[in-house]
Amino acid sequence: MKKIKEIFTRVKELQHGDNEDVTDLIWQLICYSPKFPLRLQQQQLIDEAAPFTLEVDDPHFSQSILKFNGFIWGNGNRKVLITHGWSSKGADFIDLITALRTIDNLQIIAFDAPGNGSSEGELSNLILFAKSTEAVIKTYGAPDVMIGHSLGVMANIIAIQQTGIKPSLLISITPMVKLRENFITTMNSADVPKAAQDRFFERFNEIFNVPTSYFNLADMYQDEIAVKHWLAYDQEDKMAPFPYTQELLNRHPIIGFKEYPDATHERIIKDPRLIEDVLELIRNQIN
């Protein structure tokens, strides 16, 4: 957290300057993901897993091949793949993974996306999240169940589209629906001037060859992406505003959903109500 606070402070200090330093700092503000150490129980969970390391190409930031770490629990015939959100890691799903391990015949796979957790990378982005998800799918096979949280929801959907798989159950928890609006909120919190924000979006388009507005789940989503899709949200979520989620649900009524009041964006993956419902959904779908 210390580094992101330093970046935030420097952006505020340089916000009135018309120079490249501001643009470079904005990229760090948007794309630096703080890494938090494992707690004791999380480390014990990781110690019980079969570890693996895969690689993804990062042509945009490091211009290199990045290694990312993953973890497998169980050797059942039914696969569950978990994709974490921004500034998170696979072990943050400790409560859900522990509960999933009580279900027979499951193989549970989680990973740390590049720039997050134990994996390589200084800066990260949605494309690296999606590429990592694709790499896991191509290495270990199509999962029966895919679970994503926050940015991990969008990464899962991109990976499904890129690999052509069709999971039996797709579970989306407090999804990041509009990437551009999330970036704007982050920049506004650091008082980044409109002109500097515009330069950032122009540069994003040049680097990734697509505008940030493309990454809108309501537009990207295809109704036949999974046999069943279920979404969990908290209407008071400050990180993933409910009006965006509501737009996604209104435009794609095939998606089932449930609200978890007071769960919050970060803690919802630990919420006992959610975990109980996820276990029931998985048992009903794979049995």
pTM for this model (two decimals): 0.96
**Residue 254: what pLDDT?**
97
Provide φ and ψ at 217, rounded to 5°.
-60, -35
For the chain, strand residue ranges (E) read: 50-58, 64-73, 78-83, 106-111, 145-149, 169-173, 228-233, 256-259
Of 13-22, 111-120, 134-143, which gets the smallest average pLDDT?
13-22
The distance from CA 98 to its chain's CA centroid, rounded to whole angstroms, is 20
Residue closest to 190 by CA, chosen among 49, 4, 3:
4
Encode pLDDT of 141-197 as tens digits. Answer: 999 999 999 999 999 999 999 999 999 999 999 999 999 999 999 999 999 989 899
Between CA 222 and CA 224 the distance in angstroms is 6
Provide φ and ψ at 258, rounded to 5°.
-155, 140
**Residue 233: what pLDDT?**
98
pLDDT band for position 286 (50/70/90)?
confident
Determine the topology of domain 38-177+216-286 in CATH.
Rossmann fold (3.40.50)
Q: What are the residue ranges spanned by the domains of the chain?
A: 1-32+179-214, 38-177+216-286
**Residue 17: what pLDDT?**
55
Q: Is 16 a residue whose pLDDT tops 70?
A: no
Encode pLDDT of 200-211 as tens digits. Answer: 999 999 999 999
